[in-house]
Chains A and B, each alone.
Chain A
Amino acid sequence: MSDNAVDPEAVEHVADLARVDLDDEEVERFTEQFGEILAAFEALDEVPETDREADLTNVMRPDEVREGLTQEEALRNAPDSEEGQFKGPKVS
């Protein structure tokens, strides 16, 4: 794909990477909108390289055992569970 155009295959490819199914109408609409939005993002090409302040510090504390959620609380919002564990689809 060129820098300024987005085709439906590109939208479908990104949707697949992001694990979001799209219907045909969404693919069509997003193809048009993404072209326009990404073209606007091209303005970032004019941004000069800028030194970034590297004042990052690690924020650490000793590990300590404390109360957390109970198993029941942790599972309360799961659509499906079995024997105290989350139940999901097949992995492959």
Chain B
Amino acid sequence: MEHNGYIATETIEGADDGPLAGRTVAVKDNISTEGVGTTCGSKMLEDYVPPYDATVVERLKGAGATIPGKTNMDEFGMGTTTETSAFGPVENPVAEGRVPGGSSGGSAAVVAAGDADLALGSDTGGSIRCPAAFCGVVGIKPTYGLVSRYGLVAYANSLEQIGPIAPTVEEAAELLEVIAGPDERDATTRDATDNGGSYDYAAAADGDVDGLSIGVPTELLDGADGEVVETFWDALDELESKGASYHEVDLPSVEHAVEAYYVIAMGEASSNLARFDGVRYGRSGGRDGNWNESFANARERGFGEEVKRRVLLGTYALSAGYHDKYYKKAQDARAWVKQDFDAALSDADVLASPTMPVPPMERGESLDDPLTMYLADANTTPVNLANLPAISVPAGETSDGLPVGLQLVGSAFDEQTIIRAGSALA
């Protein structure tokens, strides 16, 4: 508990039995829990208590899980370090003095520290995989549409998915089995069985990589930290010793993915966060002056700096005269990334890279330099642009004992293959 991983520790009991009976599943604080505060790490929602459960929370309760609390996060999911929370930063429990990664840093930290058996996070540009990598645990970003977003407080709808964080691949797969599947309350959900997949994820965690073909996008190794790259190749050697083979692949589009991601995510954020007007919920802007003045006042007081930065940049990129220059080009880049991934995956079962190009940063290091923080997401954001599934598994440690994560990307709705491959390592 001393890592500030939880924002609230109110317990929510699930059904008496089910596949998760006897287990605790911590829930990121941007996922609605009926009757239990849901703040999104923001002062804006400090006192907000949702009147309904998110679909994933209903499914957890139905599966017998106990929710031990709501986990700390970058405000509205905006960050790579879990330092932008209005409720204070989270410390990495396995690398003292370092950040746990973000934005689901609290979820990864409580699992790494043993304060919860499992956790849910959300991943818009790497927010499950990054903290899983930095805290030495497993995280899965599901195929877009596999898991319902009903009750997830939206940041960038076209990119984000809820997914599991766990100590092992098998446990992450068990949790994914519980939350996956279509939901009539989220029209973007799709049935895996209609798309060539199935929901038997836990059984796929059998560690069998004999004959597995792994593509390694060289662009995602360029510019990465030397020790991270070394640890990555050691992990690939281990997979090779178990019967997998690898070849290098070229993904020229990923060079532009991180910029495209931020333009799209900020654009969607500027629209989504317009709902926080301090009238229906959230911090009131008072009733002095007119609606616009009150609205601007509520948002000045309720939003932290990173949220304001993204809302403003998103507004800018969508404003008259700049839409074609930024947003349209970002959508072209998104289509290009998708084509590149599809081509690479037509000739490999999975694609492998380091999850993060750097080991966990020291606390406070990145706050004054947002651009550097954004660029750290270079390896995770392309996957969200392409709507594909990806897993981060522990690959080993640097010489200083800092965790390094390995990312495996699969074809749409083929969670089984990334789970099978990842389970050979963790």
Report A's interface with B, CB cutoff 8 A.
10-11, 14-23, 26, 30, 33-34, 36-38, 40-41, 43-53, 59, 61, 69, 73-74, 76-80, 86-92
> How close is B310's CB to chain A, nearest CB, in angstroms?
10
Distance, CA A76 to CA B50, complexed state (A): 9
**Contact call A33/B296, Cβ cutoff below 8 A:** no
Distance, CA A13 to CA B289, complexed state (A): 19
B285 within 8 A of A: yes
Show 20 residue pairs from A and B whose CB-CB distance is below 8 angstroms, ordered by the A residue.
A17-B315, A20-B311, A20-B312, A21-B299, A30-B312, A33-B309, A33-B370, A41-B326, A44-B260, A47-B260, A47-B333, A48-B332, A49-B332, A50-B339, A79-B283, A80-B284, A86-B279, A88-B279, A89-B294, A92-B291
Q: Report A-chain residues with C-beta under 8 Å of the C-beta of B335.
A: 50-53
Distance, CA A80 to CA B285, complexed state (A): 11
Count of A-B residue pairs with CB < 8 Å: 154
Q: Report B-chain residues with C-beta under 8 Å of the C-beta of A43.
A: 255-256, 259
**Contact call A46/B256, Cβ cutoff below 8 A:** yes
B163 within 8 A of A: no
Q: A21-B296, A21-B297, A47-B256 are in contact. Are A89 and B291 (CB under 8 A)?
A: yes
Q: Report B-chain residues with C-beta under 8 Å of the C-beta of A16.
A: 296
Query: Which residues in chain B, 198-222, are within 8 Å of chain A measured between CB atoms?
Result: none
Indicate with 1 or 0, residue by residue over B169-195, a CB within 8 angstroms of chain A CB atoms.
000000000000000100110000000
**Contact call B51/A41, Cβ cutoff below 8 A:** no
Distance, CA A61 to CA B339, complexed state (A): 32
B157 within 8 A of A: no
**Contact call A40/B309, Cβ cutoff below 8 A:** no
Distance, CA A1 to CA B398, complexed state (A): 46
Q: Which of B286, B294, B300, B329 contacts A20 (CB 8 A)?
A: B300
> How close is A10's CB to chain B, nearest CB, in angstroms?
8
B11 within 8 A of A: no
Distance, CA A41 to CA B330, complexed state (A): 9
Distance, CA A22 to CA B311, complexed state (A): 12
Q: Which 10 A-B pairs have the closest CB atoms?
A: A79-B284, A21-B300, A77-B281, A89-B294, A73-B51, A44-B329, A59-B187, A88-B279, A50-B335, A18-B315
Q: Report B-chain residues with C-beta under 8 Å of the C-beta of A21.
A: 296-297, 299-300
Report B's interface with A, CB cutoff 8 A.
47-49, 51-52, 184, 187-188, 253, 255-256, 259-260, 262-263, 270, 274, 277-297, 299-300, 303, 305, 308-309, 311-313, 315-317, 319, 325-326, 329-333, 335-336, 338-339, 370-371, 374-375
Q: Which of A50, A74, A91 contacts B336 (CB 8 A)?
A: A50
**Contact call A61/B262, Cβ cutoff below 8 A:** no
Distance, CA A87 to CA B375, complexed state (A): 43
Q: A46-B256, A77-B49, A90-B290 are in contact. Are A19 and B295 (CB under 8 A)?
A: yes
Distance, CA A74 to CA B52, complexed state (A): 10
**Contact call B293/A26, Cβ cutoff below 8 A:** no
> How close is B213's CB to chain A, nearest CB, in angstroms?
25
Q: Report B-chain residues with C-beta under 8 Å of the C-beta of A59.
A: 187-188
**Contact call B332/A69, Cβ cutoff below 8 A:** no
**Contact call B312/A79, Cβ cutoff below 8 A:** no
Q: Report B-chain residues with C-beta under 8 Å of the C-beta of A78.
A: 279-281
**Contact call B296/A20, Cβ cutoff below 8 A:** yes
Distance, CA A89 to CA B316, complexed state (A): 27
Q: Which residue of A lies closest to B34 (CB)?
A: A73
Q: A78-B281, A90-B290 are in contact. Are A48 and B259 (CB under 8 A)?
A: no
Q: Report B-chain residues with C-beta under 8 Å of the C-beta of A49.
A: 332
Distance, CA A43 to CA B374, complexed state (A): 14
**Contact call A88/B291, Cβ cutoff below 8 A:** yes
> How close is A85's CB to chain B, nearest CB, in angstroms?
11
**Contact call A89/B262, Cβ cutoff below 8 A:** no
Q: A78-B279, A90-B290 are in contact. Are A69 and B51 (CB under 8 A)?
A: yes
**Contact call B312/A11, Cβ cutoff below 8 A:** yes
Q: Report B-chain residues with C-beta under 8 Å of the C-beta of A22.
A: 300, 308
> How close is B185's CB to chain A, nearest CB, in angstroms?
11
**Contact call B256/A79, Cβ cutoff below 8 A:** no
Q: A19-B296, A33-B370, A59-B187 are in contact. Are A74 and B256 (CB under 8 A)?
A: no
**Contact call A37/B374, Cβ cutoff below 8 A:** yes
**Contact call A44/B336, Cβ cutoff below 8 A:** no
Q: Which residue of B lies closest to A60 (CB)?
A: B187
> How close is A76's CB to chain B, nearest CB, in angstroms?
6
